[in-house]
Amino acid sequence: QKSTVVITGASSGVGLYAAKALAQRGNWHVVMACRNLEKAQNAAQEVGMPEDSYTIMHIDLGSLESVRQFVAKFRESGKSLDALVCNAAIYMPLLKEPLRSPEGYELSVATNHLGHFLLSHLMLEDLKHSSAESPRLVILGTVTHNPDELGGKIPPRPDLGQLKGFEAGFKEPHSMIDGKKFEPVKAYKDSKVCNVLTMRELHRRYHESTGIVFSSLYPGCVADTPLFRNHYPLFQKIFPLFQKHITGGYVSQELSGERVAAVVADPEYSQSGVYWSWGNRQKKDGKSFVQKVSPQARDDQKGERMWELSAKLVGVA
């Protein structure tokens, strides 16, 4: 009997290669939770995933209704859930005005954080019923969430402030969590701070009572995933070269996928409440370690407030 893992955003980049790596292990069935079924199907074939190793199911993380429908469909399928990987994200650095989710929330925070917050909340029930020794819930982080690290120093820096935008309901005219003026790069980074805070709150609230392992990771700078497709073309060309030759942070999509798969499946990664990293400069056979998260992402009070407000915004409070 194979274990089942759900991976969001498995149609490209880190998620696709994580799906491939887990499928190749032979003892995992991968549910690729994607918004574009045809694209996901083509991607799975292109990277050579065996046909019986995966199922593609529809989810649009930007829509809370769609997240609920996904969970209902997943349960209908009768599969057990042994691991959930919250990976999907959008990054729209050139936007002048915010885009909005069907519920009216700023779209990058809605997709990267609120959709995954609701999904994690709902699928906690499924993970509780897993017969795996340590069911896992893994949320992708990034170095740019952390101004204490070199890769996180480039402005604008993430800052949830006093969560005034969330408090005010996060709809028009509000588009930033801190209630300030719209800044698309900061919106992405803020959403990733929420991802890490969510992981830590899940750990604090549920690890002891459920045995579920909650963790995050920074897979390295995967500079040539399509995440940067909404950036200037010149940036897309130069960024991978810069990461390869100047910073040494470059990680291939293949390797990033293997790192996610390890955090999902390997016994070395059964610690809960932690954030894994392989460092910013990639060394051959570099080892992973537990990395300290940013001051905001380790602020328990902020985490609790973020949790309460997010629960309200997604309708589970």
**Which residues are near ligand NDP by CB under 6 A?**
8-9, 11-15, 34-36, 39, 59-62, 87-90, 111, 140, 142, 192, 218-219, 221-223, 225-227
CA gap 142, 122 in Å, rounded: 24
Q: Which residues lie closer than 8 Å to 276 by C-beta, 6 or more apart?
A: 215, 216, 217, 218, 259, 263, 269, 288, 289, 290, 291
Distance in Å, CB of 309 to ligand NDP, minimum: 21
The amino acid occupying position 174 is: H
Among all residues, whose Cβ is closest to ligand NDP?
13
CB of 18 to ligand NDP, least distance (A): 9
Q: Which residue's CB is nearer to ligand NDP, number 141 or number 210?
A: 141
- The three-point CA angle 303-89-293 to 5° equals 35
CB-based contacts of 20, cutoff 8 Å, min separation 6: 47, 48, 49, 257
Strand segments (E) across the chain: 3-8, 28-34, 54-58, 83-86, 136-140, 213-218, 274-277, 289-290
- With respect to ligand NDP, which residue has the nearer C-beta, 175 or 225? 225
CA distances from 271 to 74, 175, 216, 260, 280 (A): 27, 35, 11, 15, 22
* Residue whose CB is less far from ligand NDP, 90 or 274: 90
Number of alpha carbons in the 13 Å side-chain half-sphere of residue 90: 22
CB of 84 to ligand NDP, least distance (A): 14
- Least distance between ligand NDP and beta carbon 250 (Å): 9
Q: Least separation, in Å, of the C-beta of 273 and ligand NDP?
A: 19
Nearer to ligand NDP by Cβ, of 31 and 34: the residue is: 34
- Helical H segments across 112-245, by residue range: 115-128, 164-167, 184-202, 208-210, 233-242
Query: 92 with 184: CB under 8 angstroms?
Result: yes
Smallest gap from residue 98 Cβ to ligand NDP (A) = 15
Nearer to ligand NDP, 210 or 277 (CB): 277
**Residue 87 vs 175, nearer CB to ligand NDP:** 87
Place of tokens 């579920």: 212
**Based on CB atoms, which residue is closest to ligand NDP, 130 or 152?**
152
Min CB(188)–ligand NDP separation in Å: 8
Picking from 11, 82, 17, the residue whose alpha carbon sits closest to that of residue 41 is 11
